[in-house]
A and B are shown apart, each in its own frame.
Chain A
Amino acid sequence: MKKGASKKISEKEDLFGAAEKVFSKALVKMIREEGHGFLEAGRDGSFVLDAEGKRYLDCYTSAGSFNLGRKNPAIAAGFKKAIFETDQGNFVMPSQEKALLARRISEFVPGNLDCVLFGVTRGESMDAAVKLARGFTGRKELITVDGGWYGECGFAISLSARKGKEQFGSLIPGIKTVPFGDIEAARSAISSKTAAFVMEPIQAENHCRMAEKSYYSGVRALCDRNGVKLIFDETQSGFGRTGRKFFFEHAGAAPDILIVGEAISGGMFPMTAMVFTPELKKFFDIHPLIHLCTFGGHDLGCRVAMAALDEYDSKAPWTAAQALGDKLIKDLAGLADKHKKALSSVAGKGLLISLKFASEKTAQSFCARAGENGLLVKRAHVDGSCVLLRPSLLITPEEAALISDSAGKALDTL
């Protein structure tokens, strides 16, 4: 081994030691067991490099944040320019950056979802959304579906199928959970006491579970009839991931409030948002500054998101995501046929793909084997026996082929 290389490894072990000390031994162990016992360093389009220079095709993209590739150069260039012109601003002030981005989002998102409230984390935006629904309707009851995942904030965690949440007390009261995809269950749960009906229209962390198309329009109709606000969390499925700008375009039913995730900045800035109808904005007209967020609508972040939206519009990555996704799902289904014992099914839409394994253990080993074969993948939060594939939407057909190749190799060595 070269001297430089051994120095790097000892540096790495020192850093892992420091991580055990400052975070926890258990966190480091958890990360290593997932096959991610490296230090993330370089970024190159669809690839990420560890500190020793090993390349991985990034099929994690930090849960679908890097839809436009890692460290997208066009967004980085826009960001760099903005640094010397603006900063985060004072969060209570209207600003040009916020106003222009809000207009841009209203143009980008289909339908009459024209209004925006910015957040930092997914959970914060979900919390803002259900608060808006409660505040606007004057009702208390919230309905969520089983198998969802909306983040770690108070309302979000209360609405999620999150293991271990009972240790944080009884959480937010007034929440009913119904089975996803069951229109009859939705019909008997939704009433004129309901403020909001919350779901991810495609449950990424739960083997990309989708419902029949009629379910979405059925729930939409039930909500309309009862004055209930429909909330879709598209943190993972938004910005072209499933072959359309947003998954709700496949579903044929638009929500009243849409949650969008870090993909809004191409993964260059911690920003999320809730996008909602003009009807709901009346609440914020009457009650200004009732929901505040210091870093939400960060002026610099708004400029970054503007650059990202320019890039989305010029690349229109959803078209390729659809075609490449269809092909990839087909190839992976072929692998499932070949490895029936380990890989039980393949599901997904566009480039949001889930592989379901025989057990959590098998899924974990697959992540590790995939890593050895140059593929960065991660297990799902809700169903831990699933592994998600969420590459950059700008992958080439060759890179897409490499994904199924490497997955095949990983399966062979399981």
Chain B
Amino acid sequence: MPESSFIKMDAKERDYIQYLFGKHISWGQVRYLRCAHLDIYERNRKGCKVVDAVSGRKFFDCFSSAGCFNVGRGNQQIMETLRDALDEYDIGSHQILSEHKIRFASKLAGLCPGDLNRVVLCASGADACAGAIKLAMGVTGRTEVITMEKAYHGHEGFSLSANGKDYYKELFLPLMPGFRIVHFNDLEAVKKIASKNTAAIVLEPVQGEGGIHVATQEYMTGLRKLCDELGIMLIFDEVQTGFGRTGKMWGMEHYGLLPDIIFTAKSISGGVYPNGAVVFREIDPLVKYVEENPAFHTSHSGGSDIGCVVSSSVLDFLVENKVWENAAKVGKRFKDGLMEIGKENPDVVLEVRGIGLMIGIEYKYEFIGALMADCLARLGVWAVYSGNAPQVMRFQIPITAGMEDVEELLARIRAAMKSMRIYLIFLLPLARIPIFRMILDNLKVQIATFNIVRDIEEFVFGRLLRR
């Protein structure tokens, strides 16, 4: 592999890149990531680790771009497939068929349970979410959609309307009317508002961004029954839960029932080339609608030729290596380990939740999320708290991780917990006073404080180094 200028970066270069990023994209984002030492510049991305270009330190990737690396980072087989595909293909022509588009779609349908046999190729999760909701509206002729609090589906018009967090929506109103939000895992709440005007109920089998909440069996069974009674399309967002993440190929397989429509993206890209899909059941109202409206959702670069070659190879890798079995096995050890850490730190950890390698720690206070992210980053663990639930830290390491990776990771998390104690001596008593807790939990305060600390730190270290 050729050594290139992309391998290393000194602090000066890093500052310049941050300057460019701030100037052309967002200063806010730079400050946000900088605040908990999360501003690393990834190099040598391999397995479940990356190297920071500035410090040269190895980091565990506990985020995986919200679950994109189910084949591991820098997967040789996938990279070689992509390299070879570049000798033959480009994105290809939208609405013209090719062997790879057809073969990939068929392979994907073949891996879906039951009669989830029909596919619409898409380019991203949001694109696929829009496709799924449009399909449900088209099929039912209805326009109401029920989604969940803290749900995260994307940022384009349909998926944004379906999101369950105000921060993402409130500055862009009005969004689509007819979207109603209910409490997750609360069947009665859905029953109250579901009717023959409801086109779809949309949910993630495990809420990722929402803070790792697993749908209960009763909830899912109840939703399926309700949808059957009222002719509602049940839609599962399998963007994060798909392709082995939860210990089975699909999140839905934990429940022994079929949704009418799923949509998926992220890991199908192999972490190297965007792709996505809507998959729906081969049953009458759905098939009839699509046969009458074959272009109801056309995704221009979705199902590109290169993308389909890569995604086919991803599916092969997942199946050949049965990665979901690894996710289940390694995930169990990881969760058990985190629960032990939780027991050792009952004043900090409220709960450990999740299935497979989609695990979250809920802390007692929101500010602990940011503090812990900082302590972890200092120990070579890149973990972030959930956008829709800052007190929950998500652990979504690449699911190809081995037992030894998890043991090492657990040791570092335990050590980070210990190092956080110093701050907690002062902060925990303060947090019991409501007004202080409000200040501590305030994101703006956190960003400002951490950035000041960081500035001081870099100033002092910079001086020391110069000496």
* Bind each other: yes
Q: Are A22 and B109 in contact (CB under 8 A)?
A: yes
**A278: nearest residue on chain B (CB-CB)?**
B23
Distance to closest chain B CB from A394 (angstroms):
14
Q: Contacts A31-B96, A170-B176, A171-B157: A83 and B79 contacting too (C-beta < 8 A)?
A: yes
- Cβ of A262 under 8 Å from chain B: yes
Q: Contacts A88-B68, A124-B127, A164-B293: A270 and B91 contacting too (C-beta < 8 A)?
A: yes
* CB 8 Å contact bits of B105-148 with A (1 = contact, 0 = none): 11001000000011110011111001101100110010100000
In Å, the complex CA distance between A51 and B73 comes to 34
Question: B158, B274, B302: which contacts A154 (Cβ < 8 A)?
Answer: B158
Which candidate, A96-104, A245-253, A318-326, A358-366, is the interface stretch facing chain B?
Answer: A96-104
**B66: nearest residue on chain A (CB-CB)?**
A294
Q: Are B9 and A96 in contact (CB under 8 A)?
A: yes
Contacts of B203 in A (CB 8 A): none
- Cβ of A268 under 8 Å from chain B: yes
Question: B29, B61, B89, B156: which contacts A153 (Cβ < 8 A)?
Answer: B156
- Give the residues from 55 to 72 in chain B that come closer than 8 angstroms, CB to CB, to chain A: 61, 63-66, 68
- Give the residues from 259 to 275 in chain B that come closer than 8 angstroms, CB to CB, to chain A: 265-266, 269, 271-274
Distance to closest chain A CB from B70 (angstroms):
13
In Å, the complex CA distance between A48 and B98 comes to 12
Distance to closest chain B CB from A61 (angstroms):
8
Distance to closest chain B CB from A355 (angstroms):
19
Contacts of B7 in A (CB 8 A): 85
- Cβ of A188 under 8 Å from chain B: no
Q: Are B91 and A62 in contact (CB under 8 A)?
A: yes
Question: A158, A168, A291: which contacts B137 (Cβ < 8 A)?
Answer: A168
- Give the residues from 157 to 193 in chain B that come closer than 8 angstroms, CB to CB, to chain A: 157-161, 167-168, 171-178
What class of interface size applies to chain B in its complex with A?
35 or more
Q: Contacts A39-B98, A99-B17, A167-B138: A23 and B118 contacting too (C-beta < 8 A)?
A: yes
Q: Are B99 and A63 in contact (CB under 8 A)?
A: no
Contacts of A58 in B (CB 8 A): 93
Question: A24, A151, A290: which contacts B171 (Cβ < 8 A)?
Answer: A290
* CB 8 Å contact bits of A113-129 with B (1 = contact, 0 = none): 01111001111100110
Contacts of A295 in B (CB 8 A): 123-124, 265, 269, 274
Q: Contacts A62-B92, A270-B91, A294-B66: A94 and B29 contacting too (C-beta < 8 A)?
A: yes
**A25: nearest residue on chain B (CB-CB)?**
B291
- Cβ of A152 under 8 Å from chain B: yes
Q: Are A288 and B31 in contact (CB under 8 A)?
A: yes
Question: B6, B31, B63, B125: which contacts A86 (Cβ < 8 A)?
Answer: B6
* CB 8 Å contact bits of A57-83 with B (1 = contact, 0 = none): 010111101100011100010011101
In Å, the complex CA distance between A105 and B24 comes to 9
Q: Are B171 and A134 in contact (CB under 8 A)?
A: yes
Q: Are A121 and B123 in contact (CB under 8 A)?
A: yes
Q: Are B307 and A22 in contact (CB under 8 A)?
A: no
Distance to closest chain B CB from A265 (angstroms):
8
- Cβ of B349 under 8 Å from chain A: no
Distance to closest chain A CB from B124 (angstroms):
4
Distance to closest chain A CB from B274 (angstroms):
4
* CB 8 Å contact bits of A20-32 with B (1 = contact, 0 = none): 0111111111110
Q: Are A90 and B42 in contact (CB under 8 A)?
A: yes
In Å, the complex CA distance between A77 and B155 comes to 33
Contacts of B125 in A (CB 8 A): 294
Q: Are A120 and B90 in contact (CB under 8 A)?
A: no
Contacts of B79 in A (CB 8 A): 83-84
Q: Which of B39, B126, B167 counts the most chain A CB atoms within 10 A? A: B126
- Cβ of B216 under 8 Å from chain A: no
Distance to closest chain B CB from A275 (angstroms):
10
Q: Are A290 and B168 in contact (CB under 8 A)?
A: yes
Q: Are A285 and B26 in contact (CB under 8 A)?
A: yes
Distance to closest chain A CB from B405 (angstroms):
18
- Cβ of B27 under 8 Å from chain A: yes
Distance to closest chain A CB from B312 (angstroms):
13
Contacts of A214 in B (CB 8 A): none
- Cβ of B2 under 8 Å from chain A: yes
Q: Are A168 and B134 in contact (CB under 8 A)?
A: yes
In Å, the complex CA distance between A413 and B295 comes to 29
In Å, the complex CA distance between A28 and B290 comes to 12
Contacts of A266 in B (CB 8 A): 90
Contacts of B98 in A (CB 8 A): 39-41
- Cβ of A292 under 8 Å from chain B: yes
- Cβ of A391 under 8 Å from chain B: no
Distance to closest chain B CB from A324 (angstroms):
21
Closest 4 CB pairs of A and B: A154-B157, A288-B28, A169-B143, A270-B301
Sample of 7 more A-B contacts, CB < 8 Å, known A22-B118, A87-B45, A169-B137: A19-B97, A23-B294, A71-B86, A83-B82, A91-B66, A93-B41, A168-B138
> B residues within 8 Å of A by Cβ?
1-2, 4, 6-7, 9, 17-18, 20-33, 38-43, 45, 53, 61, 63-66, 68, 73-74, 79, 82-83, 86-99, 101-103, 105-106, 109, 117-120, 123-127, 130-131, 133-134, 137-138, 141, 143, 155-161, 167-168, 171-178, 265-266, 269, 271-274, 287, 290-302, 304-307, 382, 384, 387
